[in-house]
Structure formats: C-alpha cells, structure tokens
Amino acid sequence: MSISMNSKTQSFLEIDNLGKQYAGVDALKSVSIDVEEGGFLVLVGPSGCGKSTLLNMIAGFEPATTGDIRIAGKSIADLHPSKRDIAMVFQSYALYPNMSVAGNIGFGMETRGVPKAERLKKIDEVASILQIEPLLKRKPAQLSGGQRQRVAMGRALVRDPQAFLFDEPLSNLDARLRVDMRAEIKKLHARLGTTIVYVTHDQIEAMTLATKIAVLKLGELQQVGTPDEIYNAPANTFVADFMGSPAMNRVTGQLEFSQGHIDFVVGPYRLRLHEPSEEHREIAARSGTVDFGIRAENISEESGAENTGAAGNALSLQVDLVEPTGSDTFISTKDEHAVFTARIANHVKATVGEKVELFFDMSKAHFFDSESGRRIP
C-alpha cells in the first residue's frame, strides 16, 4: 500500500512480457496485460491458445521462460504457489476426496497453523456466504456438481487472497446451472471486490463477467479491452469471429467511390459506408479489397429510425434457412456472392426460398484487411 498511486486505475496485477516455451515451442508469446484492483480479467480463446498456461503461470505451477508477474508492484514470479497470496478454483474442483466439506475449506488454514476455533468460525462465515452450511459434514462424493463448485469457491474464499484464479469453473456444469453460477460469481465479485482472473472458452461467460477481456490465439494476445471494445471494435477477424453468437457475418468485397460516398461492393450488392474514415477513402481510391463484417443483430427486417434516409443500406436476399429461437428468429440468406445471418423479430414470417428485404445498420459495420485480418478503423 506504500506504493505511490499516480492514478485511480493504477494496475494491480501486472503481467509483463510473460513468455513460456516448451521444448523450443512458444506456448505463450510475450503477453502483457494489466488489471486494475478489483478488476475481473477473463482470458478467452479456443483450446490450445495458452490461456490455461497463462493462468498456471500466475498461480505458480509453471515457471515463466521470460517476463514477470507483479501484484501491487511486487514481483511474485519466483514465489511458491502458497506464498503468492492467490487462491484458485480448479476446473475439476479438486476437492480432497477423503475430507469433509469443512475439512476441505479449512485445510489451508490447518496447514498454516490457524487455531481450531478461528478455523471453524471462518468456515462458518464462508459457508453462510455460499449457502452451504447444511453440507459441511458431507464428503465431496456426496455432493452434486453445483455444490462441489460452491465448496471449491469456498476453499478459495476462506483464504481472503489478493486475487482469485478461476480455471474454466463452470465447464462441468449443465447449461441451466452454468447460468445460475455465472450470475453468482458476478454477484460475489461485486460483493468482495477482489481481483479475479478467469479462464474460459465460452465467449458469453467472458462478456457477462469481465471488466476486461483478453483474447488469445496460439499463445499470442489478440486484443485486450473491455467487453464493449472487444465486441464492438474487434481488433482483427479472429476476435470478430470468436466473440458473439451467431458469429459475425463476413464477406470479402471492394470499397468503391460512388456519388461522393463510399460503397462496399460484392457482386450486384452495394452497401453505403456510414462514416468512412481516411483509411477507408484511401482503399476506396484504389478500389481495394476488404473484409466486411456485420453482426446478425445489425441486420433486420425493419429499416430502423437511425437508418431512415440513409440510402443504400437495404438488400433483397433469398432466404436459405429459418431458425426461430422463441424470442427472435434467425434467418440465413445465401447466394453465390454472400451468406448473411440476420436477427429478426419473432412475429415476422419468413419462408425458405423467398426473397426478403433486409436493412443493414451500416453504423455498426466493421472492415478488416482481407489479408492480415487487421481492423481498418
């Protein structure tokens, strides 16, 4: 706490150029992420992207090849896992099978020589926070998945650490319970205000929980930002494709000047850019190729107030697939030039094989370099 605080968002957990090599292969390539105190960092990416490696390095189970990790300004990279003042919730919960729930929660205090009376008091406290008081005497084998999850969280909670690490904690639960536990973790974070690093491959978990998301691919950091930044301004096509369900529509075509505006052109279709940037103009000047991206919710059957008057944002497309989800209906269109998925209101009837008029909210359009995948701002 004696460290000078020059700004309110002084980073608390600093991952500084962290790298990891296994037998000459980069598992993690020089990753740097800062998290503010009380922040909720979600590491997300497909399997093999290095997110679990990074978490294990923060926990201290795997030594770093290069770089440093600091908490509150102090390097923890050379400390034993038990000395880092970090608690972890494991994917398999890793509850000690031979101990009761209370024994599991209290084991850390037991090894640190905390007197029994104090231990019992803290176990009770944590049990009441997580509402597992009736389970304290049971063995892990007698618990359901959700209850085990709570006990695993209790074991972390009782430590009152500087940071929590969560390794895909919800991946073993059924869909319904996952949603409930997700909400509980979020409430718990709001209540405790402790910094959390959370690994998941589920982009919805990432969006709902995080104050900051880091997207990884093959050991390389793709983008770090708030959920809003990641979703609305993905840094490249990988992030754009990974975040959001259904995946962002993407079509390769040209940017061209047309009557003082810039249009995205693919086959017979033209869509007019909302507020083209300098870079868009440069590409349009040489009729350059770009990847156009737009999310399903930004294509609809209604022109929308913000779009009225903006010409060139409607296309007539042939319906290929209709998927009602109850609240909304997703329709997919397909021809030789482009495939789009649009989210439309559930009361609108669409028939496969017929043409529909769809409106594109071009203020929400994304453009990427068609070769490197980099976002064109």
Binding residues for other proteins, rule: CB under 8 A, are: 59, 61, 80-82, 86-88, 90-92, 94, 96-98, 107-108, 111-112, 155
Minimum CB distance to other proteins, residue 151 (Å): 12
Minimum CB distance to other proteins, residue 32 (Å): 25
| Smaller CB separation from other proteins, 79 or 204 | 79
| Smaller CB separation from other proteins, 136 or 344 | 136
Query: How far apart are alpha carbons 226 and 211 in whole angstroms?
Result: 6
Nearest CA among 104, 110, 109 for reference residue 130: 104
Minimum CB distance to other proteins, residue 374 (Å): 38
| Smaller CB separation from other proteins, 98 or 316 | 98
| Smaller CB separation from other proteins, 59 or 210 | 59
User: From its phi and psi, is residue 262 left (phi > 0), alpha (psi between -120 and 50) or beta?
Assistant: beta
| Smaller CB separation from other proteins, 111 or 372 | 111
| Smaller CB separation from other proteins, 18 or 158 | 158
**Cβ–Cβ under 8 Å, residues 173 and 194:** no
Query: How far apart are alpha carbons 306 and 308 in whole angstroms?
Result: 6
Place of tokens 């008091």: 121
Minimum CB distance to other proteins, residue 157 (Å): 13
Strands 86-89, 163-167: pairing kind: parallel
Minimum CB distance to other proteins, residue 141 (Å): 11
Minimum CB distance to other proteins, residue 16 (Å): 22
Written in H, E and C, the secondary structure of 95-155 is CCCCCCHHHHHHHHHHHCCCCHHHHHHHHHHHHHHHCCHHHCCCCHHHCCHHHHHHHHHHH
Q: Which residues are 132's β-sheet partners?
A: none
